């Protein structure tokens, strides 16, 4: 199976500027993906692009991974209804360095010499305003920019500053520079980046007279059509200090039954035959969660390594079989003073992150969806230190959202 055929089968391509066989199977290319440093860690929303980059690298293509140290100072309007809050330069430098380190860990050592890390500050910061307007802006039709969906959406809503309006041009300059420096002829991005990618393709053609291309991956959604990639607490990070391997495992193991095989195809490197066997097992009995556990293990192995994946799977197994799997499990540490003469179960649910508000916690309890050490919580229930076993107890929301509460032994 060719790479183009595989990506079609996996459902990993949304848009392409030319037939996939021409882009992916006609010989090695240099491609690039950009990552804006809006936080100090990559997250699950970035993962499909990283996995796609790995597939291309394995097929013999060369990757340039661009940390947007300059574009991050501007803010991409794509997929947003309001203006971004600008980060200060020191924070952006910190975030850029952290993200570059993660990209190096995830992709840098796959094939020696196949991955180059860049920061677009290298070529964007030296630009002068006059030089930008004369040498770049002269070749960018405003009518084409206004036709892009990301721009039209914002202009029809809260409006758009000139700063964010200019983002598209800066990303287009990235493509020009990478084409000139490395012979890069393919840009990859999420489906919301198609307008920015098209602007880069057009600018390379206008400035250098060369044909380059773009390819996007689809927006990954849940069954209700909302974006996949966030938990109740927000982003699911690829930094183990922000989202533990166990929490990452749990995020994927909780995938909806009707979507899990789609995620297996997109996020794992399992073969056609392996996925077909998983699909059969899943369709025979989804409640066994065979596909869910394999998906979760494969993702954690890719992000954190096989040992972390094994530990996360064992922690989940022990927890769901009634054991106390503190190692690797999400843990909330509370001071003794928080318990006092007993902490209201609503406050405990809030502290554990299982509810976002008191009203949500009350509804959860009223619906019978909150459990303390396996027993259904009641309105007005108070939990004391005496209820803890060896300084621990487990909270559960619904069937699969678990948290271990630990008493701080230092006090």
Cα dihedral 161, 162, 165, 167 sign? negative
Question: Residue 167 annotated as binding?
Answer: yes
Question: Residue 246 annotated as binding?
Answer: no
Q: What is the number of structural domains in the chain?
A: 3
C-alpha triplet 8, 63, 50: angle, nearest 5°: 55
What's the gap between Cα 341 and its chain centre? 42
Q: Domain with 274 in it: what CATH number?
A: 1.10.240.10
**Domain limit, last residue, from 289, 320, 351:** 320
Rg (C-alpha) for the chain, rounded Å, is: 24
* pTM of the model as a whole: 0.79
196 and 56 within one domain: yes
Query: For residue 70, which of 146, 159, 173 has the smallest C-alpha distance?
Result: 173
Does the structure show a pLDDT above 70 at 372?
yes
Tell whether 189 is covered by a domain. Answer: yes
340 and 266 within one domain: no
pLDDT band for position 165 (cuts 50, 70, 90): confident
386 and 237 within one domain: no
CA distance 34 to 182: 15
Lowest-confidence pick of 75-89, 112-126, 314-328: 314-328
Question: Residue 138 annotated as binding?
Answer: no
Question: Residue 381 annotated as binding?
Answer: no
Instruction: Name the residue range of residue 20's domain.
Output: 3-217
Q: Domain with 158 in it: what CATH number?
A: 3.40.50.620
Per-residue pLDDT tens digits for 7-23:
999 999 999 999 999 99
141 and 47 within one domain: yes
Tell whether 258 is covered by a domain. Answer: yes
27 and 166 within one domain: yes
Query: For residue 345, which of 387, 390, 399 has the smallest C-alpha distance?
Result: 387
125 and 63 within one domain: yes
Query: For residue 199, which of 167, 229, 231, 236 has the smallest C-alpha distance?
Result: 167
109 and 54 within one domain: yes
235 and 363 within one domain: no
335 and 316 within one domain: no
139 and 35 within one domain: yes
Mean pLDDT of 234-259: 86
Tell whether 325 is covered by a domain. Answer: no
- 64-to-49, 53, 196 alpha-carbon distances in Å: 13, 9, 17
């Amino acid at each position: 199976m060719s790479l183009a055929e595989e990506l079609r089968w996996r459902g990993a391509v949304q848009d392409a500027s030319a037939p996939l066989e021409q882009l992916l199977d006609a010989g090695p290319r240099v491609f690039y993906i950009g990552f804006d440093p809006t936080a100090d860690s990559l997250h699950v929303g970035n993962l499909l692009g990283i996995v796609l980059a790995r597939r291309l690298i394995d097929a013999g293509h060369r990757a340039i991974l661009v940390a947007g140290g300059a574009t991050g100072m501007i803010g991409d309007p794509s997929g947003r209804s309001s203006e971004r809050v600008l980060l200060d330069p020191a924070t952006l430098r910190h975030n850029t360095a952290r993200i570059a380190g993660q990209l190096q860990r995830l992709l840098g050592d796959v094939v020696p010499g196949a991955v180059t890390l860049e920061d677009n500050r290298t070529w964007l910061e030296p630009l002068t305003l006059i030089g930008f307007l004369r040498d770049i802006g002269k070749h960018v039709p405003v009518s084409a920019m206004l036709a892009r969906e990301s721009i039209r959406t914002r202009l029809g809503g809260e409006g758009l500053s000139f700063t964010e309006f200019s983002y598209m041009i800066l990303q287009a300059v990235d493509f020009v520079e990478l084409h000139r420096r490395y012979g890069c002829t393919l840009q990859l991005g999420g489906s919301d980046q198609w307008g920015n990618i098209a602007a880069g393709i057009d600018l390379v053609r206008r400035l250098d007279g060369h044909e380059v291309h773009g390819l996007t991956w689809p927006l990954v959604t849940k069954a209700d059509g909302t974006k996949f990639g966030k938990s109740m607490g927000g982003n699911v990070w690829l930094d183990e200090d922000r989202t533990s391997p166990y929490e990452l495992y749990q995020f994927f193991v909780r995938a909806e039954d009707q979507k899990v095989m789609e995620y297996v195809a997109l996020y794992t490197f399992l073969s056609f035959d392996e996925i077909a066997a998983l699909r059969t097992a899943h369709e025979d009995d989804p409640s066994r969660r065979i596909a869910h556990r394999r998906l979760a293990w494969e993702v954690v192995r890719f992000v954190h390594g096989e040992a972390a994946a094994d530990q996360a799977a064992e922690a989940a197994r022990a927890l769901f079989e009634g054991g106390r799997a503190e190692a690797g499990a999400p843990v909330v540490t509370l001071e003794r003073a928080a318990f006092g003469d007993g902490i209201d179960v609503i406050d405990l649910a809030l502290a554990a992150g299982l509810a976002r508000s008191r009203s949500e916690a009350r509804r959860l309890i009223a619906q019978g969806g909150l459990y303390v050490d396996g027993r259904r919580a009641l309105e007005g229930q108070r939990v004391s230190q005496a209820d803890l076993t060896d300084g621990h107890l487990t909270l559960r929301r619904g069937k699969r959202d678990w948290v271990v509460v630990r008493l701080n032994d230092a006090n």
